[in-house]
Amino acid sequence: MWFLLSLACMLFWGGADLFYKKGTDGSDRYSHLKIAVWVGLVMGVFAVALMPFSETKFSVHALLLNAVRYSPASLGYIVSMVVGYAGLRYLEVSVVSPVQNASGALSAIVMVIWFSATGGLAKIKEDYNFIDLVGTVIIVAGVIALAVVEQRLAAGERGLPEEEKKYRFGALALIFPLLYCLFDTLGTAADGIILDEETGLGLGEIDVLIIYGLTFFVAGIIAWAFLLFKSNKPYNPFSKGERTKGVAALFEEGGQIFYVYAMAAKPILAAPMVASYCIVSVVLSRIFIKEKLKTAQYVCVAAVILGIVALGISDGIKEG
């Protein structure tokens, strides 16, 4: 089941990346904050809608306590996502997404270290076989290779005339996806530790969705207030030109739902697989916004798909 959940998450988040890019205005220095307003709004609505299904009766005290317990993951995600939105102003989706999602490999390593240090090494050996290891290594290698290819493409265009440049700020702009990678690694590793069904902190998946949604809702309100302060007029997320951001936010929330359940089931395997949603982003960007791919990029995409197939075969063998 974790495999299908991870696959669904990949598709949703790959779609979210596409609409994030389509909804980003390179000339608007606050475009990333406007996206944050939309994501906060959508996640807040879903959080409230999920409250009747909570495994915990949410008093103010319980809500604050669980928010504090989940804060390492939620803060890591929120910071990484806002930084990622900012990076979309300067880089193509096919550059941003692969570099950002190296976090899946790094977070898996962090989780292995954590579970080993806390006596969970035997559990890891029991749950993960050789095919899992091979599939994970192929996925991680493919994502990292894709990030390297994209960085070289950016560096190779530094001397071109401005109108011919695809990556306008070259290696300097890579600071955005690299920061995303750092904070998302912290968030994903924290999620894997918190959500693990046997060794986690006892927070149910729905409770996590509620807490994270409400936390991002607060972040969205802060972003909206900042925009009001800077422009002296309220930002209207429902205006015609801003609706694409709303579509991206809906895809983001859809992916988040599948992600939480996948991470609760098999965090070490789900993390790198979910991170490979950058492959979906790259393919969708090629189809819908005509970002051209090089041969090396296609090879990396094929490698990640091969790794995902290996994990699917392994999961089928276990179920059988």
Closest CA to 274 of 111, 133, 140, 128: 140
CA distance 80 to 299: 28
Which range has the top average pLDDT, 51-55, 95-99, 101-105? 51-55
Closest by Cα among 301, 189, 239 to 34: 239
pLDDT tens digits along 116-140: 777 666 666 666 677 877 887 887 7
Q: Which DSSP category does 26 fall into? A: T
- How much is the pLDDT for 222? 94
Give the pair of three-digit tokens for residue 127: 């749950």
Confidence of residue 57 (pLDDT cuts 50, 70, 90): low
- Residue range 230-240: average pLDDT? 90
State the chain's mean pLDDT as an integer: 78
Q: How far is CA 316 from each of CA 125, 140, 170, 262, 271, rounded to the nearest angstrom? A: 18, 21, 43, 16, 19
Judged against a pLDDT cut of 80, whether residue 229 lies above it is answered with: yes
pTM for the structure as a whole? 0.77
In this predicted structure, what is the pLDDT of residue 121? 61
Domain ranges of the chain: 2-319
Give pLDDT tens digits for 256-311.
999 999 888 887 778 878 877 877 887 887 788 776 777 887 888 788 788 888 87
Q: What is the pLDDT of residues 6-18, one digit of tens each?
A: 999 999 998 998 8
What is the model's pLDDT at position 164?
43
Measured between its terminal Cα atoms, the distance across the chain in Å is 13
Residue 167 pLDDT class (50, 70, 90 cuts): very low
